[in-house]
Amino acid sequence: MEEGTLGEPGYCCDTSDAFQWDSREDCDVRQILDRIADKWSLLVIALLDDRSMRFTELKKTIDGISQRMLTVTLRQLERDGLVSRTVHPVVPPRVDYALTPLGVGLHATIQSLVTWTESHQAEIAGARARYDAATAATASPVE
Amino acid sequence: MEEGTLGEPGYCCDTSDAFQWDSREDCDVRQILDRIADKWSLLVIALLDDRSMRFTELKKTIDGISQRMLTVTLRQLERDGLVSRTVHPVVPPRVDYALTPLGVGLHATIQSLVTWTESHQAEIAGARARYDAATAATASPVE
DNA sequence: CTGTATCCTACGCGATACTG
DNA sequence: CAGTATCGCGTAGGATACAG
């Protein structure tokens, strides 16, 4: 399933004159952004701060994620070199996940995003309420 | 349907002792994060730097986005108070989208994420190649 | 130009069951 | 415990057509 033979890292999107976000598969920035900004990836990265965590521990902490999605997500992050996977060959299998140096760098950015969200959720909620009220009023001018 | 009467901005997830990401719908941080980290939202926010842009302009620049998704995305962002929508009542309808003050704040964070991705795409691509090579080798130890 | 309304398909993802 | 494999549903989202 992995056509993975990507000898070409893939730079394109000539940022020369006309800036453009496009080139969906040409440039992999879009693709990487998608992976990173993924619902679960985001949470895993944010969670894996300094300490390493075990599979089950992650599953418990994130809660809502299925075993499948956690596995898939972790595999992707591992493939991208953001998370390291350490298997301890003991009787009850024990696997630790931790951020790689590369992952740590990303963590900082992600964390600021999370922090921003936390400190502005009230404003967003307010904006939504206002928008919904206005919309409802327009839709059905009750009076 | 709008429990919108949110005198309560909505803090839950007691960050007291045991930190946890969970509470999917309880705490809306998760939900907001999802919206923000959305594939298209991310690009729109990143694109809408200081200047405002028209609908078609956005569509052209992002390229790959369908008209439907652009509309939906913009509506969500508008609802969240991140983007403002200005309709000019002229013959050929003209609508301008721009970041709100709130949106500007988010833009900074998003931008750093984009920048990080751009400056590390080579490393990620490398990691992938390495991972795929290792995986392929394990799967079929040709020699 | 800027949307909105339908239709329809691909596939993300949860549920479940089975290995080492 | 830490996965992998399979099945099946729900829905995100693209294509298309129409409207102000």
Does residue B93 approach strand D to less than 7 Å at its CB?
A: yes
Q: What percentage of chain A exceeds 70 in pLDDT?
A: 78
Six-digit token pair at B103?
Answer: 């949106």
The per-residue pLDDT for range A100-129, each reduced to its tens digit, is 999 999 999 999 999 999 999 999 999 999
The per-residue pLDDT for range B20-71, each reduced to its tens digit, is 665 544 467 888 998 999 989 999 999 999 899 999 999 999 988 999 999 9
Q: What are phi and psi of A101, to 5 degrees?
A: -55, -45
Does residue B67 approach strand C to less than 7 Å at its CB?
A: yes
Model confidence at B115, in pLDDT bands (50, 70, 90)?
very high
Does residue A75 approach strand C to less than 7 Å at its CB?
A: no
* A133 contacts on B by Cβ (under 8 Å): 2, 4
Q: Which of A42, A66, A124 to mutate to test the interface with B (most CBs of B within 10 A)?
A: A124
In chain A, domain spans: 37-138
User: How many CB contacts within 8 angstroms connect chain A with chain B?
Assistant: 185
Indicate the burial class of B119 (C-beta count within 10 angstroms; 0-12, 13-18, 19 or more): exposed
Six-digit token pair at A6?
Answer: 């990507």
With CB atoms and an 8 Å threshold, state whether A132 touches B20. Answer: no
Q: What percentage of chain A exceeds 90 in pLDDT?
A: 62
Q: What is d(CA A106, CA A45) in angstroms, rounded to the nearest whole number?
A: 8
Q: What is d(CA A82, CA A26) in angstroms, rounded to the nearest whole number?
A: 22
Q: How far is the CA of B104 from the C1' of D20 (A)?
A: 32
Does residue A90 approach strand D to less than 7 Å at its CB?
A: no
Answer CATH for B37-138 from 3.90.79.10, 3.40.50.11060, 3.30.830.10, 1.10.10.10: 1.10.10.10
* Of residues A13 and A125, more confidently modeled: A125
For range A14-21, the mean pLDDT:
54
Residue B47's nearest CA partner among A119, B55, A14, B79 is B55
Of B80, B120, B130, the CB nearest to A127: B80
With CB atoms and an 8 Å threshold, state whether A33 touches B10. Answer: no
Model confidence at B14, in pLDDT bands (50, 70, 90)?
very low
A29 vs chain B: nearest CA distance in angstroms? Answer: 6
Helices and strands per DSSP (H, E), number in chain A:
5, 3
Six-digit token pair at B126?
Answer: 């490398």
Please check the confidence at residue B18 and state whether its pLDDT lies above 70.
Answer: no
The per-residue pLDDT for range A67-95, each reduced to its tens digit, is 999 999 999 999 999 999 999 999 889 99
Q: Angle A51-B105-B100 (CA atoms, 0-180°, nearest 5)?
A: 145
Sole residue written with tokens 């609508």: B95
pLDDT of residue B142: 52
Model confidence at A130, in pLDDT bands (50, 70, 90)?
very high
Q: Which of residues 67-126 of A touch B (CB under 8 A)?
A: 78-82, 102, 105-106, 109-110, 112-114, 116-118, 120-126
* Of residues B140 and B52, more confidently modeled: B52
Contact A21, B47 (CB under 8 A): yes
Contact B65, B40 (CB under 8 A): yes
